[in-house]
Amino acid sequence: DAGVTQSPTHLIKTRGQQVTLRCSPKSGHDTVSWYQQALGQGPQFIFQYYEEEERQRGNFPDRFSGHQFPNYSSELNVNALLLGDSALYLCASSSLMTGGFMTQYFGPGTRLTVL
Residue 5 interacting with another protein (CB under 8 A): no
Quote the Cα angle for 76-82-88, to 5°.
Answer: 50
The nearest distance, CB 29 to another protein, in angstroms, is 13
Handedness of CA 37, 77, 113, 80 (dihedral sign): negative
Residues in contact with another protein, shown as a per-residue x/- string from 32 to 71 under the rule CB under 8 A: -x-x-----xxxxx--x------xx-x-------------
The verdict on 25 binding another protein (CB under 8 A) reads no
Contacts of 76 (CB under 8 A, 6+ apart): 20, 21, 22, 23, 34, 46, 64, 65, 66, 89, 91
User: Is residue 105 close enough to count as binding another protein by CB under 8 A?
Assistant: yes
Euclidean distance between CA atoms 23 and 73, whole angstroms: 6
Q: Does 23 bind another protein (CB under 8 A)?
A: no
**Stretch touching another protein by CB under 8 A, among 14-22, 61-69, 71-79, 101-109:** 101-109
Largest CA distance in the chain: 42
Residues making contact with another protein (CB under 8 A): 33, 35, 41-45, 48, 55-56, 58, 88, 90, 92, 101-109, 111
